[in-house]
């Protein structure tokens, strides 16, 4: 255990290479990193087959992303592999922040019980990709082609032509849509002459994976200016198989080749780990940029993940935000490709995820400023905040050791129907749906797993012995123009209420669903296929609900594509 050997996947010649003319496909996804894999699985689960092209023949090499946030785990649950990721990785909810040799404070990220997933699961990126690959294969709809480098992309009106280089020559395909997930350097972005604007951060980090037996609690530990690495920051995370990830800030004026040498690295780690036995498994020197493309949709080409935006590693926003891109894009592209929605729906992908990227970039920039102050004044301020934070909770809010990834709330989305009724709490239109335990047919399950990947109406019938006639009739009429809307009825435990066929009864096991959604009898929530709230009312009205479905799919009368 511990020493991961990268698998080598076989290149297989595709029948497309022997076709007399470029074969047409609905969707090509370029890049089989975590984001491309998640996008291909999602599209497959919406019934859309994809060709997934990757220029390499293995999963991620070395130590890259580590921490997957609760929201990402919930998306992975929806894709069918969250449990495998959670079981393979190491879950954690707490962390500690140190300044020099004192603990400034400790924190808990998820105080609330009744959630399926912890705040984070740590897992090496190569394991995450292996699990996603397994899931992609299981769909039977992902045609994964290794050693297939896209070297040219041309868009004409109805399609996108791709030129693909393989070990036995180049060939072309034509696609209705291309999802570009080819990483931070994004050759396809460059082929299209598009830019990613922002800032290259003038700092370097040593990242090392070490194998060691350590009984430290499973927490995030962050040090400012520690005695073992003065004037810089350090971060420690546990991963699977007793592999620990250490990030040491080096500063810009360092020679990356020199810093990578084990003769340099091992003494640095010794300073940190003391006499503890460890084996150095991997080392790299990392610098980063904080930037994004102006728009993520360019005609029939959609950008996601690092290809669309890059951010500092503080806060674990890279893979987390990329998987949230895929989550946002999957259902929209599936609806547009099958004619259920106009192409305008894909502009909402760009709008919503550009806003999310901006939020991530803002947090990443603030973390970077706090962790690596660029002037003496900022450094004095930073150190004063850290000293105060030891005794005063108000100062803790100002400490920024990498505010950890939180899901985007799509508050300003044009797909939302604004609240007309008063609600308390965070389940506002645009918010990702909160999870809670529910009982279905006597079995304890989770709300989000019962929602799946369709539009969902969630009607609260707590205390009702029969479903009101207009509600029973209304929910049956929600499926419009082939856009499926499923309905769940939430009741208190043991309520024997009879429901129309196809409607799932969810018993609110600990009253947490009603609490988290601030729902009373008659409340109705409409949720999108990516499990974001898009509308809610204190009373059900079929006409308003249908209108909200049309709005959330850009199908409102008078809207053109």
Min. distance of Cβ 513 from ligand FAD in angstroms? 31
Query: Of the two residues 66 and 290, which places its CB atom closer to ligand FAD in the complex?
Result: 66
Looking up tokens 């105060």 gives 388
> Which of 74, 92, 96 minimizes the C-alpha distance to 83?
74
Spell 79-89 as b/e; 16+ CB within 10 A means b. bebbebbbebb
Query: Of the two residues 34 and 429, which places its CB atom closer to ligand FAD in the complex?
Result: 34
Report the C-alpha gap between 222 and 203 in whole angstroms.
Answer: 17
Report the C-alpha gap between 290 and 278 in whole angstroms.
Answer: 33
Min. distance of Cβ 164 from ligand FAD in angstroms? 8
H or E stretch covering 533: strand 533-537
Report the C-alpha gap between 530 and 452 in whole angstroms.
Answer: 8
Report residue 450 as tokens.
């019962």
* Three-state secondary structure readout of 55-110: CCCCCCCCCCCCEEEHHHHHHHHHHCCHHHHHHHCEEECEEEEEECCEEEEEEECC
Report the C-alpha gap between 94 and 92 in whole angstroms.
Answer: 6
Query: Of the two residues 64 and 532, which places its CB atom closer to ligand FAD in the complex?
Result: 64
Task: Note whether 164 and 173 are within 8 A (CB).
Answer: yes
Please tell me the total number of residues recorded for the chain in this structure: 561
Query: Of the two residues 311 and 458, which places its CB atom closer to ligand FAD in the complex?
Result: 311
Min. distance of Cβ 519 from ligand FAD in angstroms? 34
Query: Of the two residues 30 and 415, which places its CB atom closer to ligand FAD in the complex?
Result: 30
Query: Of the two residues 91 and 322, which places its CB atom closer to ligand FAD in the complex?
Result: 322
What residues line the site for ligand FAD (CB under 6 A)?
30-36, 53-56, 60, 64-66, 125, 149-150, 181-183, 187, 207, 284, 286, 305-307, 313, 316-319, 322
* C-alpha torsion sign, points 343, 346, 348, 351: negative
Min. distance of Cβ 329 from ligand FAD in angstroms? 12
Report residue 248 as tokens.
């040491």
Min. distance of Cβ 148 from ligand FAD in angstroms? 6
Spell 128-164 as b/e; 16+ CB within 10 A means b. bbbbbbebbeebebbbbbbbbbbeebeeeeebbebbb
Query: Of the two residues 163 and 559, which places its CB atom closer to ligand FAD in the complex?
Result: 163
> Which of 349, 348, 345, 352 minimizes the C-alpha distance to 483?
345
Report the C-alpha gap between 341 and 347 in whole angstroms.
Answer: 12
Min. distance of Cβ 323 from ligand FAD in angstroms? 8
- 233: β partners: 224
Query: Of the two residues 367 and 523, which places its CB atom closer to ligand FAD in the complex?
Result: 367
Query: Of the two residues 5 and 441, which places its CB atom closer to ligand FAD in the complex?
Result: 5
Residue 543 Cα distances to 163, 386, 421, 479, 552, angstroms: 48, 55, 16, 12, 14
Instruction: Return the number of other C-beta atoms located less than 10 Å from residue 39's C-beta.
Output: 32
Report the C-alpha gap between 315 and 405 in whole angstroms.
Answer: 5
Counting DSSP H helices and E strands in the chain, the numbers are 15, 28
Query: Of the two residues 205 and 278, which places its CB atom closer to ligand FAD in the complex?
Result: 205
> Which of 471, 442, 464, 495 minimizes the C-alpha distance to 543?
471
Min. distance of Cβ 144 from ligand FAD in angstroms? 11
Min. distance of Cβ 183 from ligand FAD in angstroms? 3
Min. distance of Cβ 546 from ligand FAD in angstroms? 37
Query: Of the two residues 33 and 529, which places its CB atom closer to ligand FAD in the complex?
Result: 33
Min. distance of Cβ 452 from ligand FAD in angstroms? 24
Query: Of the two residues 97 and 132, which places its CB atom closer to ligand FAD in the complex?
Result: 132
Min. distance of Cβ 57 from ligand FAD in angstroms? 9
H or E stretch covering 320: helix 318-337
Report the C-alpha gap between 175 and 29 in whole angstroms.
Answer: 10
Min. distance of Cβ 541 from ligand FAD in angstroms? 42
Query: Of the two residues 66 and 415, which places its CB atom closer to ligand FAD in the complex?
Result: 66
Min. distance of Cβ 461 from ligand FAD in angstroms? 42
């Amino acid at each position: 255990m511990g020493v991961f050997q990268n698998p080598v996947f076989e290149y297989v010649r595709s029948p497309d290479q022997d076709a007399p003319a470029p074969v047409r496909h609905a969707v090509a996804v370029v890049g089989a990193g975590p984001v491309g894999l998640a996008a291909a699985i999602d599209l497959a689960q919406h019934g859309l087959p994809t060709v997934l092209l990757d220029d390499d023949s293995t999963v991620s090499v070395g130590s890259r992303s580590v921490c997957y946030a609760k929201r990402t785990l919930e998306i992975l649950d929806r894709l069918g592999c969250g449990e495998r990721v959670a079981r393979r990785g190491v879950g954690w909810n707490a962390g500690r922040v140190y300044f020099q040799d004192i603990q400034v404070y400790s924190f808990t990220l998820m105080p609330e019980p009744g959630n399926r997933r912890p705040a984070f699961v740590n897992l090496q990126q190569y394991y995450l990709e292996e699990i996603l690959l397994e899931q992609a294969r299981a769909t039977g709809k992902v045609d994964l082609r290794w050693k297939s480098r896209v070297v040219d992309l041309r868009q004409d009106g109805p399609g996108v032509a791709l030129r693909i280089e393989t070990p036995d020559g180049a060939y072309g395909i034509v696609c209705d849509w291309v999802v570009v997930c080819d990483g931070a350097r994004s050759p396809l972005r460059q082929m299209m002459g598009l830019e990613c604007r922002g800032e290259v951060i003038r700092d370097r980090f040593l990242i090392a994976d070490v194998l060691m037996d350590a009984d430290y609690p499973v927490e995030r530990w962050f040090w400012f200016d520690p005695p073992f690495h003065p004037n810089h920051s350090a971060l420690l995370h546990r991963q699977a198989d007793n592999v620990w990830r250490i990030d040491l800030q080096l500063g810009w004026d360092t020679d990356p080749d020199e810093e990578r040498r084990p003769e340099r690295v091992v003494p640095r780690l010794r300073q940190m780990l003391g006499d503890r036995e460890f084996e150095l498994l991997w080392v790299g020197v990392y610098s980063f940029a904080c930037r994004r493309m102006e728009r993520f949709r360019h005609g029939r080409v959609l950008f996601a993940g690092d290809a669309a935006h890059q951010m500092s590693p503080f806060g674990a926003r890279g893979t987390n935000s990329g998987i949230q891109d895929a989550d946002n894009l999957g259902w929209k592209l599936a609806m547009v490709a099958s004619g259920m929605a106009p192409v305008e729906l894909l502009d909402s992908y760009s709008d919503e995820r550009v806003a999310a990227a901006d939020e991530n970039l803002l947090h990443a920039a603030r973390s970077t400023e706090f962790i690596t102050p660029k002037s003496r004044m900022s450094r004095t301020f930073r150190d004063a905040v850290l000293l105060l934070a030891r005794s005063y909770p108000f100062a803790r809010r100002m400490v920024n050791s990498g505010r950890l990834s939180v899901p985007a709330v799509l508050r300003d989305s044009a797909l939302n129907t604004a609240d007309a009724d008063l609600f308390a709490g965070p389940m506002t239109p645009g918010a990702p749906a909160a999870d809670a335990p529910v009982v279905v047919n006597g079995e304890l399950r989770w709300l989000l797993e019962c929602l799946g990947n369709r539009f969902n109406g969630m009607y609260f019938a707590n205390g009702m012995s029969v479903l009101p006639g207009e509600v029973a009739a209304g929910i049956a009429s929600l499926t419009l123009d082939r856009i499926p809307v499923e309905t769940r009825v939430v009741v208190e435990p043991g309520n024997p209420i009879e429901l129309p066929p196809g409607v799932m009864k969810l018993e609110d096991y600990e009253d947490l669903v009603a609490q988290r959604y601030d729902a009373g009898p008659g409340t109705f929530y409409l949720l999108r296929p990516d499990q974001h709230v898009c509308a809610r009312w204190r009373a059900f009205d079929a006409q308003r609900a249908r209108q909200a479905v049309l709005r959330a799919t850009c199908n409102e009368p008078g809207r053109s594509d």
